Amino acid sequence: MSEAATATVQEAPPEARTVIEVRDLVTHYGPREILHGVNVDIVEGEIMVIMGGSGSGKSTFLRHLMALQRPTSGSIKILDHDVWSLSQKQLFELRRKLGVAFQSGALFSSMTVGENIMLPLYEHTKLDRTTMEIMARMKLEVVELSGFEDLMPSELSGGMIKRAAVARALIMDPRILFFDEPSAGLDPVVSKQLDELILRLRDAMGMTICVVTHELDSAFTIADRITVLDQGNILFIGTVDELRSSASERIQNLLNRRSEEAEIDPDEYLRRLTGDKEEAEGMPR
Amino acid sequence: MAEGSNQNTAQSAFGRFFDKVGRTSISGLEEVGRHGVMLVESLYWLIAGPRMSQPVRLGSVIAEMMEIGVRAIGIIGIMAAAIGAMLAIQGIYTLKVFGAEGHVVLGVAFSMVREFAPLITGILVAGRSGSALSARLGTMKINQELDALEVMGINPVRFLVVPSLIASLVMVPVLTFMSMALGLYAAALYVRATLGMTMAAFFDQTINVLSLDDLMHGLGKAAIFGVLIALIGVLNGFLVKGGAEGVGKATTRSVVQCISAIVVTDMLFALVATF
Ligand SMILES: Nc1ncnc2c1ncn2[C@@H]1O[C@H](COP(=O)(O)OP(=O)(O)O)[C@@H](O)[C@H]1O
Ligand SMILES: [Mg+2]
């Protein structure tokens, strides 16, 4: 290939660059097929929200997007790497470009908040302790938790744990950030703060962000595009406006109704009992 | 008709029994296989880790040694002394029948060094650390901390398993050596008090009857117990499913499996060594 041709390839327009490409993804737990051939492209700099009733395979799908789980068939390309044809070493290097804030926060309970955030630096770089501490404090600043670095995770509230988890996810300056149910178990005010943080990360750092949630409100606030999963199939991919205006009864129903076979999430159940607004609106008239 | 259905249920009960035996042995084999895989994986990370910039941290190994070894010194010391004294008491009581109390040293020295020191140390470490390992890793699993490590590009086996494995491999023999010494010391005290034998005479005789082989037999077993405890503890933790209750079950399973594995291994060693 000529040098000119290579150069043009490299100078391809940066906008609309696909950072995650999922093709015909099929996955099983034991004999049960969970995802039945899913295709999704996630574009650089966008917030992609994955929705669906519980048990529809959102978390499983997210685990594939984060290169944590190997599919039965199909391919996943992250940042132009075909994930499951990489060597173990290359896979480790790829994972360092991904940041994840897990549903429970997943902070290590035996370490302070600061040590938690510094752990990836400590493991992957040769920086000295002072530099690491400064970097950790900078990330804590981003999530508005300055001054909490010496506390243990057990001393933080639910919202603070999630924000600390975001700080840890940010420490290696990842290209793509993942959230699993960021608002689960949080009260509406705190979960709104988290939504604002997610928006700020996209706008200030140009990060690609992928969020799993079943909170409609939160999804409509943060999403550039929404993917709706229904029992392991993709029901819809598009912008918030497209989703809102979608005439499909199934989509509207699915967005509002809990899947019957799913076990009841206690938080959700309590919210329904106390007649929370969005849930009530979703009820069939 | 009633008879026929009875026979049917009897047959299916019979079938179920064999089915169950079959399944249990298969899952037992699977279990052994998993331990083998974990051991190989640990060795892999120990050797290949540094090349992938995933070295096993000396700091973690030392922290684990503190937890598994140093913090267990008190309880294991007391138990070993109690066993040593028990062996002396029982030995003198039995040998009195033949008027051969003087030979008590022989019995105490052999049993303590070859059998009881490794066994009691192994069982106590299993109870303290086997269960703690399962509880810790199980909690980390349900709290998604293991996934978090994985996405941070930190291999959980390298980061969590190898340090525990090394610590256990080193500390169980060290603790066993301490148990031998304390058990013999307690026995010597009792023998001095009842038979009037001096401590020096007791230890002279002990050193005379024991060979290096006996010592190595005890310490070698202890090393194997150490590996078994770490592997069983870790695997039960990794396999936890379903919340805090799952962690509780894994912890119990882990202790029972550790102690069973230790006792069976001990028996096999005795069999092979005296063949
Ligand atoms: N580790 C697992 N082993 C077996 N089945 C699982 C496992 N994780 C999830 N499942 C099943 O797969 C389906 C999809 O689960 P999940 O991806 O967690 O859905 P969601 O996050 O949308 O609630 C569910 O029916 C769930 O019971
Ligand atoms: Mg989920």
Q: Are residues A75 and A209 in the same domain?
A: yes
Mean pLDDT for chain B overall:
88
How confident is the model at residue A269, as a pLDDT? 67
Q: Are residues A19 and A63 in the same domain?
A: yes
How confident is the model at residue B131, as a pLDDT? 94
How confident is the model at residue A256, as a pLDDT? 63
Tell me, yes or no, if A126 comes closer than 8 A to chain B by beta carbon: no
How confident is the model at residue A7, as a pLDDT? 43
- Determine whether the shortest distance from the Cβ of A34 to ligand 1 is under 6 A: yes
Whether the predicted pLDDT of B84 surpasses 50: yes
How confident is the model at residue A177, as a pLDDT? 93
Across A175-179, B39-43, B164-168, least confident range: B39-43
In chain A (285 residues long), the average pLDDT of successive 10-residue segments reads 44 69 92 92 93 87 91 92 89 88 87 91 87 90 88 89 90 90 82 89 90 87 91 89 80 60 61 59 44
A102 vs B53: CB contact, 8 Å cut-off? no
CATH number, position A27: 3.40.50.300
Region B35-59: what's the mean pLDDT?
Answer: 81
Taking CB atoms and an 8 Å cutoff, what residues of chain B touch A68? 147, 150-151
Q: How far apart are CA A70 and CA A68, in angstroms?
A: 7
Distance from the Cα of A116 to chain B's closest Cα (Å) equals 11
How confident is the model at residue A105, as a pLDDT? 85
Q: At what angle do helices B162-195 and B199-209 cross, to 10 degrees?
A: 130
Q: How far apart are CA A15 and CA A35, in angstroms?
A: 30
B153 vs A68: CB contact, 8 Å cut-off? no
Whether the predicted pLDDT of B23 surpasses 70: yes
Sign of CA dihedral A225, A228, A234, A238: negative
Q: How far apart are CA B149 and CA B45, in angstroms?
A: 15
Q: At what angle do helices A113-124 and A158-170 cross, to 10 degrees?
A: 20
Which residue out of B150, B160, B162 would a mutagenesis test of the A interface target, given it has the greatest number of A Cβ atoms within 10 Å?
A: B150
How confident is the model at residue A9, as a pLDDT? 44
Distance from the alpha carbon of residue B198 to the mean position of ligand 1, in angstroms: 70
- Does residue A240 fall inside a structural domain? yes
Give the ligand at the shortest distance from the Cα of A33.
Answer: 1
Distance from the Cα of B66 to chain A's closest Cα (Å) equals 15
Q: How far apart are CA B146 and CA B138, in angstroms?
A: 9
Q: How far apart are CA A237 and CA A50, in angstroms?
A: 9
- Determine whether the shortest distance from the Cβ of A58 to ligand 1 is under 6 A: yes
DSSP structural state of residue B210: -
B114 Cβ contact partners less than 8 Å away, ≥ 6 residues apart: B214, B217, B218
Q: How far apart are CA B34 and CA B42, in angstroms?
A: 12
Q: Are residues A199 and A88 in the same domain?
A: yes
- Determine whether the shortest distance from the Cβ of A28 to ligand 1 is under 6 A: no
Atom 8 of ligand 1, nearest CA residue: A60
What is the number of structural domains in chain A?
A: 2
Region B97-117: what's the mean pLDDT?
Answer: 89
**Residue A124 structural domain:** 110-173
Region B243-264: what's the mean pLDDT?
Answer: 93
Tell me, yes or no, if B60 comes closer than 8 A to chain A by beta carbon: no
Q: Are residues A209 and A165 in the same domain?
A: no
Q: What is the ipTM of this complex?
A: 0.74
B147 vs A68: CB contact, 8 Å cut-off? yes
- Determine whether the shortest distance from the Cβ of A208 to ligand 1 is under 6 A: no
More confident residue, B101 or B192: B192
Q: How many CB pairs under 8 A join A and B?
A: 55
Q: Is B197 exposed, middle or buried (0-12, 13-18, 19+ CB in 10 A)?
A: middle
Domain termination site, one of A127, A156, A173: A173
- Does residue A167 fall inside a structural domain? yes
- Does residue A272 fall inside a structural domain? no
Cross-strand pairs, A76: A22
Q: Is B19 exposed, middle or buried (0-12, 13-18, 19+ CB in 10 A)?
A: exposed
pTM exceeds 0.95 for this model: no
B144 vs A102: CB contact, 8 Å cut-off? yes
- Lookup result for tokens 């202790």: B255
- Does residue A253 fall inside a structural domain? no
How confident is the model at residue B265, as a pLDDT? 94
A76 Cβ contact partners less than 8 Å away, ≥ 6 residues apart: A20, A21, A22, A23, A25, A64, A65, A67, A82, A83, A84
- Per-residue pLDDT band at B3 (split at 50, 70, 90): very low
Task: Ligand 1, residue A54: give the atom nearest the CA.
Answer: 23
Q: Are residues A180 and A90 in the same domain?
A: yes
- Does residue A257 fall inside a structural domain? no
CA-based nearest residue in chain B for residue A67: B151
Q: Which of B52, B140, B153 sits opposite A95 (nearest CB)?
A: B153
How confident is the model at residue A260, as a pLDDT? 45
- Determine whether the shortest distance from the Cβ of A222 to ligand 1 is under 6 A: no
More confident residue, B55 or A17: A17
Contact B112, B180 (CB under 8 A): yes
Q: Which two tokens stand for residue B100?
A: 């051969």
Q: Are residues A86 and A19 in the same domain?
A: yes
Q: Are residues A14 and A127 in the same domain?
A: no
- Does residue A276 fall inside a structural domain? no
- Does residue A283 fall inside a structural domain? no
How confident is the model at residue A6, as a pLDDT? 44
Q: Are residues A195 and A215 in the same domain?
A: yes
Contact A125, A179 (CB under 8 A): no
Q: Are residues A77 and A144 in the same domain?
A: no
Q: Are residues A2 and A68 in the same domain?
A: yes
Question: How confident is the model over B192-250, as pLDDT tens digits?
Answer: 999 988 989 999 999 999 999 999 999 999 999 999 999 999 999 999 988 888 999 99
Question: Any alpha helices (H) in A66-128, and if so which ranges?
Answer: 88-95, 113-124
Tell me, yes or no, if A102 comes closer than 8 A to chain B by beta carbon: yes
How confident is the model at residue B2, as a pLDDT? 45
Q: What are phi and psi of A24, to 5 degrees?
A: 50, 45
Q: Are residues A149 and A180 in the same domain?
A: no
DSSP structural state of residue A262: S
- Lookup result for tokens 């999963």: A229
Q: How far apart are CA A197 and CA A164, in angstroms?
A: 12
- Per-residue pLDDT band at B49 (split at 50, 70, 90): confident
Domain termination site, one of A156, A173, A190: A173
Q: Are residues A87 and A181 in the same domain?
A: yes
Q: How far apart are CA B226 and CA B164, in angstroms?
A: 10
State the number of CA atoms in the 13 A half-sphere of B229 facing the CB.
36
Q: How far apart are CA B21 and CA B24, in angstroms?
A: 5
